[in-house]
Amino acid sequence: MDVYANLKQGERGVWISIAAYIFCSIIKVVVALFADSEALLADGLNNTTDVIASIAVLIGLRIARKPPDKDHPYGHFRAETISSMVASFIMFAVGIEVLTRAVPSLFNPEVQAPDMVAAWVALGSAVVMLAVYRYNIRLAKLIDSQAVAAAAQDNRSDAWVSIGTFVGIAGAQFQLHWLDPLAALVVGVIILKTAWEIFREAAHRLTDGFDYGELEVLRDTISQIPGVAEIKDIKARYLGSSVIVDAVIHVDPDLNVLESHVITEEIEKHMKEKHKIGTVHIHIEPDERLAR
């Protein structure tokens, strides 16, 4: 399955996430307003940001599927990463809004315990999001999509947030009134933390950052290919969810063009089989130490 087919399948997982988030956010916000629960309202607003963020990711996946053109010879794959950064900005804004609502309520001595129905709504939402997480994580492994895997992790995070909301509201029933706004405060912090992690990863990829440990693993794979005398240089970068590898290798100077080409084909084969990397650029140079 090629990268374009993977992107198309990845959209299916994003659509399921959007549907689940819309359903949960509407139920939570409506119930929170009637049950007077800051924690559930914060949880509902969190799901609202997830809807907007998921739509941004969906748009990014759609643009990333566009084939290369005159102005984009490498394709549009980085649109996926840009959409993730846009989503992080949206999450930052809502996270700050949740905190500004939760902090005053936390220090309000007259706050009343919310209706217990809010707790059951939060728990039901957690069950829904865990089911969506299980679907998306299986899809991510099937199509090897980092974007869908990230969406799945966000689904699981939202499930834990809803469980925390349930605990906060349930605790408020036992005269621990501060637990409900405290749960809202925790939700706000989680939103900001998630936003920062998404922003940091997107910025790292857009600036051609790549994990050094992973790069060494790729170097080790190439070095084991018969005919590779030395790896002079190796670089890697992300293009959307795909990885592009550039390497300069030394080979026996007495090899002809065909024999050298066979080595490059073996490198490409192993990189695809072991690391699922389909784009490898190999530059061959003669190793003077092996000259006869």
Q: What's residue 96's pLDDT?
A: 84
How far apart are the C-alpha atoms of 281 and 151, rounded to whole Å?
30
In what side-by-side order are the strands of the sheet with 279-286? 230-239, 242-251, 279-286
**283 or 70, which is more confident:** 283
- CATH of region 3-206: 1.20.1510
How far apart are the C-alpha atoms of 82 and 76, rounded to whole Å?
11
Query: pLDDT by residue (tens digit) across 151-183?
Result: 777 788 788 888 878 887 887 777 776 776 777
**169 or 229, which is more confident:** 229
| Inter-residue contact 173 to 113 (CB < 8 Å) | yes
How far apart are the C-alpha atoms of 290 and 115, rounded to whole Å?
80
pLDDT at 291 over 90: no
Matching CATH topology for 3-206 and 212-290?
A: no
Verdict on whether the full-model pTM lies above 0.85: no
| Inter-residue contact 68 to 75 (CB < 8 Å) | yes
**CATH superfamily of the domain spanning 212-290:** Cation efflux protein, cytoplasmic domain (3.30.70.1350)
pLDDT at 127 over 90: yes
Q: What's residue 111's pLDDT?
A: 55
Q: Determine the length of the chain.
A: 292
Q: Give me the residue spans of the domains in the chain.
A: 3-206, 212-290
Please state whether beta strands 230-239 and 242-251 pair in parallel, antiparallel, or not at all (unpaired): antiparallel
Q: What's residue 85's pLDDT?
A: 82
pLDDT at 201 over 80: yes
Q: Over pLDDT 90: what percentage of the chain?
A: 23
Q: How far is CA 111 from the centre of its chain?
A: 37
| Inter-residue contact 147 to 80 (CB < 8 Å) | yes
| Inter-residue contact 201 to 241 (CB < 8 Å) | no
Q: What is the DSSP track for 125-190? A: HHHHHHHHHHHHHHHHHHHT-HHHHHHHHHHHHHHHHHHHHHHHHHHHTTT-TTHHHHHHHHHHHH
